[in-house]
Chains A and B, each alone.
Chain A
Amino acid sequence: MPPLTEHIVLRDLDIPNIRDFDVYLQHGGYEAFRSAVTEKTPAEIIGMVKDAGLRGRGGAGFPTGVKWGFLPKDVFPRYLLCNCDESEPGTFNNHQIIDRNPHQLIEGIALSAYAVECHTAYIYIRGEFAAAARTLDAAIQNAYAKGFLGKNILGTGYDLDVFVHRGAGAYICGEETALMESLEGKIGQPRLKPPFPAVAGLYAKPTIINNVETLANVPMIIGKGVQWYRQFGTEKSPGTKAFSLSGHVNNPGNYELPFGLPLRELIYAPEYGGGMRGDRPVKIVIPGGASAPWLTADKLDITLDYEGVAAAGSMLGSGAVIVLDETVSAVELAYKMDEFFKHESCGKCTPCREGTWYLTKVLHRVSTGHGHANDIPLLHDVYNQMAGNCFCLLGESAVSPIRSALKLFPEEFEAAIRNGTPRQAPRLAIPLVAVAAD
Chain B
Amino acid sequence: MALRDIHGAEIDTLLARYAQRRSAVLPLLYIAQDTYGHLTDDAVREVAEIIGMPATDVFEVVGFYSLYYTKPMGKWVLQVCDDVPCCFCGAEELITALEQALGLRAHGETTRDGMFTLERVKCVAACNKAPVLQANLDYIYNLTADKADELLNELRRRADSGEQLSVSGRAATV
Residues of B contacting A126 in the complex (Cβ-Cβ under 8 angstroms): 125
Chain B proximity mask over A166-180: 1 for CB below 8 Å, otherwise 0? 111111000000000
- Tell me whether A327 and B88 are in contact (CB under 8 A): yes
- Tell me whether A88 and B104 are in contact (CB under 8 A): no
Query: Given A86-B125, A89-B83, A436-B111, do A185 and B22 touch, yes or no (CB 8 Å)?
Result: yes
- Tell me whether B125 and A203 are in contact (CB under 8 A): no
Residues of A contacting B82 in the complex (Cβ-Cβ under 8 angstroms): 427
- Tell me whether B122 and A185 are in contact (CB under 8 A): no
In the complex, the 10 A-B pairs of residues with the closest C-beta atoms, listed nearest first: A130-B169, A169-B66, A185-B22, A433-B103, A168-B65, A130-B172, A426-B92, A246-B127, A252-B128, A169-B67
- Tell me whether A429 and B112 are in contact (CB under 8 A): no
- Tell me whether A92 and B92 are in contact (CB under 8 A): no
Kindly identify, within residues 85 to 137 of chain B, every residue whose CB is under 8 Å from any CB belonging to chain A: 85, 87-89, 92-93, 95-96, 99-100, 102-105, 109-112, 114, 121-130, 134, 137
Question: CB within 8 Å of A: which residues of B?
Answer: 17, 19-20, 22-27, 29-30, 51, 53, 57, 60-61, 64-68, 71-72, 79, 82-85, 87-89, 92-93, 95-96, 99-100, 102-105, 109-112, 114, 121-130, 134, 137-139, 168-170, 172-174
Q: Residue A87 contacts which of B23, B100, B123, B130 (CB distance < 8 angstroms)?
A: B123
Residues of B contacting A254 in the complex (Cβ-Cβ under 8 angstroms): 128
- Tell me whether B61 and A340 are in contact (CB under 8 A): no
CB of A226, distance to nearest CB on chain B (Å):
31
CA distance A356 to B147 in the complex (A): 35
- Tell me whether B84 and A437 are in contact (CB under 8 A): no
- Tell me whether B103 and A244 are in contact (CB under 8 A): no
- Tell me whether A165 and B84 are in contact (CB under 8 A): no
Query: Given A131-B137, A131-B139, A344-B122, do A253 and B128 touch, yes or no (CB 8 Å)?
Result: yes
5 A–B contact pairs at CB < 8 A? A89-B85, A130-B137, A170-B64, A244-B127, A431-B96
Residues of B contacting A129 in the complex (Cβ-Cβ under 8 angstroms): 125
Residues of A contacting B170 in the complex (Cβ-Cβ under 8 angstroms): 130
Q: Residue A431 contacts which of B25, B88, B99 (CB distance < 8 angstroms)?
A: B99
- Tell me whether A336 and B112 are in contact (CB under 8 A): no
CB of B55, distance to nearest CB on chain A (Å):
13
- Tell me whether B87 and A336 are in contact (CB under 8 A): yes
A309 at the interface (CB under 8 A from B): no
- Tell me whether A188 and B111 are in contact (CB under 8 A): no
Question: Knowing that A168-B29, A185-B25 are A-B contacts, what are 4 other residue pairs whose CB atoms are under 8 Å apart, sorted by A's residue number?
Answer: A131-B139, A183-B23, A203-B19, A254-B128
CB of B171, distance to nearest CB on chain A (Å):
8
- Tell me whether A167 and B26 are in contact (CB under 8 A): yes
Q: Residue A184 contacts which of B22, B87, B122 (CB distance < 8 angstroms)?
A: B22
Name, among A131, A431, A432, A433, the residue most crowded by chain B CB atoms within 10 Å (CB to CB).
A431
Name, among B26, B65, B84, the residue most crowded by chain A CB atoms within 10 Å (CB to CB).
B84
Closest to B166 in A: A130
CB of B68, distance to nearest CB on chain A (Å):
6
A186 at the interface (CB under 8 A from B): yes
Query: Given A128-B134, A245-B128, A435-B103, do A324 and B85 touch, yes or no (CB 8 Å)?
Result: yes
Residues of B contacting A183 in the complex (Cβ-Cβ under 8 angstroms): 23
CB of B59, distance to nearest CB on chain A (Å):
11
CB of A327, distance to nearest CB on chain B (Å):
7
- Tell me whether A188 and B130 are in contact (CB under 8 A): no
CA distance A102 to B56 in the complex (A): 37
Closest to A127 in B: B67
Residues of A contacting B68 in the complex (Cβ-Cβ under 8 angstroms): 168-169
